[in-house]
Amino acid sequence: MASMKEVSSNKCAGGFQKVFEHESTELKCKMKFAVFLPRRTCLPWFCHVFLSLSGLTCTEQNFITKAGSQLGAAEHGLIIVAPDTSPRGCNIEGEDEGWDFGTGAGFYVDATEEPGRTTTACTRTSLDELPTLINANFPTDPERVSISGHSMGGHGALICALKNPGKYKSVSAFAPICNPVQCPWGQKAFSGYLGSDRSTWEAYDATVLAGSYSGPQLDILIDQGRDDQFLSASQLLPDNLIAVCSEKKIPVVFRLQPGYDHSYFFIYSFINDHIKHHAKFLNA
């Protein structure tokens, strides 16, 4: 079991917002993650986990300082776990040459191509290593976990839930990249991390995965800003996912929010709805 080092701790919403660092055995480097602990974790009962995955260019700090999630989490007794988006400072060739590939842009895939193969295992980290660390050190119930994310993190949340039926009680996303094999962001990332064989990309595409999903009912909540510049640039492609989910009868609440863009102002405006969505299933 990897050891953790507490980096910071701040009183927040009656509980504590903490950041930790650990040596990742999957990513072969040090990684940070944030944990919000509601006040009730001081008492002898378990809390349920809301795992939040951030988007391109983000660290663990973006969600905990901008989303305003702590009050809602405190009200419903949820622990929020927010990992960093990718390895940092690993001295990988080209890791800092672009904002949409490399540092801050792991795309929640397990890379098979060099130079990132040994350090970009973000799906295994999100699914296995980090939850194991959380469950060993905090009063959680490993059977009661939900997952959410924004943009690239929304892509990560959707694929984690669709690839692992029954692992998460619920899933939600803000402006997710829904069909990355068909958009420029996804094509750049997947060709760099997974190689030129496009058939291997489909394992990380929510629209493709939804088409073959056969697990227990998965209730999905998606919020999308109508004035999102990346929606109009055909990077997000939510209509493709909604069409497949409708065909497969996967329950999706999709809300197109007028006037909202891709920013954290958008997330802040609707985060409580997402927390309530997850609490309904986690606390049932």
Which residues are part of the catalytic machinery?
151, 228, 262
SS3 call for 144: strand
DSSP state, 198?
Answer: G
End-to-end Cα distance, the chain: 31
Separation in Å, CA 34 to CA 100, 102, 117, 228, 265: 23, 21, 25, 27, 20
Distance CA 201, CA 196 (A): 9
CB burial class (10 A; 0-12, 13-18, 19+) of residue 11?
exposed
CB burial class (10 A; 0-12, 13-18, 19+) of residue 75?
middle
